[in-house]
Amino acid sequence: MTKGGKNKKIINIAVLVSGGGTNLQALIDAERSGIIKSGSIKLVLSNNRNAYALTRAENAGIPHDCITKSDCGGDVKLFEKRLMDRLDEAGTDLIILAGFMSILSADFIEHYRDRIINVHPSLIPSFCGQGFYGLKVHEAALEYGVKVTGATVHFVNEIPDGGRIILQKAVKIHDGDTPEKLQKRVMKQAEWKILPEAAEIVSAELLKGKEDH
């Protein structure tokens, strides 16, 4: 393998999505602009057929697929097996959860230990864990009256939002904020910046590990 040559290895990234895919778009844009250079998005997987994220993947020319729990008769083990089969078939090195609305089992996490990262719309350990997702996080921050919130990218382990933190970015709360306004600001000022940065950090680490072996 040569460094910087045609045979230069790269980390294969798969992005798991459920909704609109704004974080996926941030990752696609970051790869195109060279922020993410140690990895490349090779697959987008959704558990929701109507996810606009699938359209974003199609527009970007990225292979994409949808696997739902209902396809598997509600069998979570079968659902995860199909996810793993598709991920492994694509040679996935790193999984990025970008608004993926499904809690992954301990077996799934163990299969990809230290190779799954997630973005959460608060400064962990505040407003995180079971039940804190989407607008609920921002509703809780406003209700509590904090003056600063933000976003966190972390490794995924068996505890919801409990894995090692990779990056965090703070965002100020303004007077008159609604959960919707705050959600948009956190996305623009934090999530869309630190998720691509973290993807590059972890991809570079994984790449170095490959080169060392």
Q: What is the DSSP code string of 139-173?
A: HHHHHHT-SEEEEEEEE--SSTT-SPEEEEEEEEP
List the alpha helices (DSSP H) in 34-95.
Answer: 52-59, 76-89
pLDDT at position 78: 96
* All domains in the chain, ordered by first residue: 11-212 (3.40.50.170)
pLDDT at position 1: 35
Ramachandran bin of 47, using left for φ above 0, alpha for ψ from -120 to 50, beta for the remaining angles: alpha
Provide the whole-model pTM: 0.93
Residues of the chain with pLDDT under 70: 1-8, 213
pLDDT at position 128: 95
DSSP 50: T
List the alpha helices (DSSP H) in 112-178.
Answer: 135-144
What is the C-alpha separation between 38 and 65, in angstroms, rounded?
24
Can you tell me whether residue 169 is helix, strand or coil? strand
What is the C-alpha separation between 51 and 66, in angstroms, rounded?
9
Let me know the angle formed at the C-alpha of 193 by 33 and 67, rounded to the nearest 5 degrees: 85
Out of 64, 120, 138, 154, pick the active-site residue: 120
Question: Is 120 among the catalytic positions?
Answer: yes
Nearest to 32 by CA among 59, 70, 71: 59
Tokens of 79: 């659902």
